[in-house]
Structure 1
């Protein structure tokens, strides 16, 4: 059995794609997953399964469509992959609310790094590392040109969590 952390893209952001976490947990439990838990209201779901990550992703995406009538991309990482992503953070000493990790569904587009470089401010260092992209938003995300267009320039589905949230998910996935 593998402990997974599933990250739903765009859930409960603004008024679209509203999904109650108890209903999401019930869906995952109904699909046969064990040890189901959620963290905050933004689509962070922990579960245990003997299925591979791609099967978990497909079944959750289909279940969300069937149950809630909406599409949400689901990014799946094992607990170990999430822990490695947190440990690889190149900005560990920075404000954890301003350091984000984008979890990509697949490889970024060939020109994604060039596009990010064109948008990033001087105080917004970033690092592409396989299926994760780390960004330190020095002044926060609210006024950042990079944050506003980040998902569009990657060329692949991705969901972003701040360092504090990822650390909590690592902690929860270990318990």
Structure 2
């Protein structure tokens, strides 16, 4: 059994992508995922499966596409991937609620940082399939322009750590 964390893009954000977490848990169980749990309302799913990651991703994408009527973004990570991410986390002195990790479907382009416009002093580090951004004044008032973040889904560092903890409990 592998423990996975699925991070859904644009779920329950700004009045779009409405998906009750009870429905998400039911969908996951219906496609054969086990030890299913959700965390907060933004599309975080922790579970175990005998399936390979690609099969899990296909099944989740299919069931969510049927639900939403369009293909959602689903980023899938394992415990070792999240542990490596947390071990490499930049900005150790920043408050964790001001550090956002954007999970991408594939590795960020090598020139991702070149297109970033950070008028409020934001800093970013690319870590393969994740981009970590420190927002000095929080992400809400930020005027950051960073095209490489668009295909991904962001979680603050507190949420990332909680998801890792939940995954370890299943592992």
Range into which the TM-score falls when normalised by the shorter chain: over 0.9
Cross-structure match for 1:39: 39
Q: Distance in 2 between matches of 1:26 and 1:92?
A: 37
Cross-structure match for 2:138: 140
Paired residue secondary structure (1:145): coil
Q: Cα distance, 1:114 vs. partner?
A: 0.4
| Residue 121 to residue 110, structure 1, CA distance change in 2 (3 Å) | same
In the TM superposition, 1:1-175 aligns within 5 A as: 1-116=1-116, 119-121=117-119, 123-146=121-144, 149-150=145-146, 153-154=147-148, 157-175=151-169
Q: TM-score, normalised by structure 2?
A: 0.92
CA-based RMSD of the aligned residues comes to: 1.6
Q: Contact (CA 8 Å) 1:105, 1:156: kept in 2 or not? A: no
Number of aligned residue pairs: 169
Q: Contact (CA 8 Å) 1:109, 1:156: kept in 2 or not? A: no
Q: TM-score, normalised by structure 1?
A: 0.90
Q: Could you tell me which runs of 5 or more consecutive residues in structure 2 were left unpaired when the two chains were aligned.
A: none
Q: Distance in 2 between matches of 1:110 and 1:172?
A: 32
Q: Cα distance, 1:56 vs. partner?
A: 1.2
Q: Contact (CA 8 Å) 1:125, 1:136: kept in 2 or not? A: yes
Q: Contact (CA 8 Å) 1:106, 1:156: kept in 2 or not? A: no
Q: Cα distance, 1:73 vs. partner?
A: 0.6
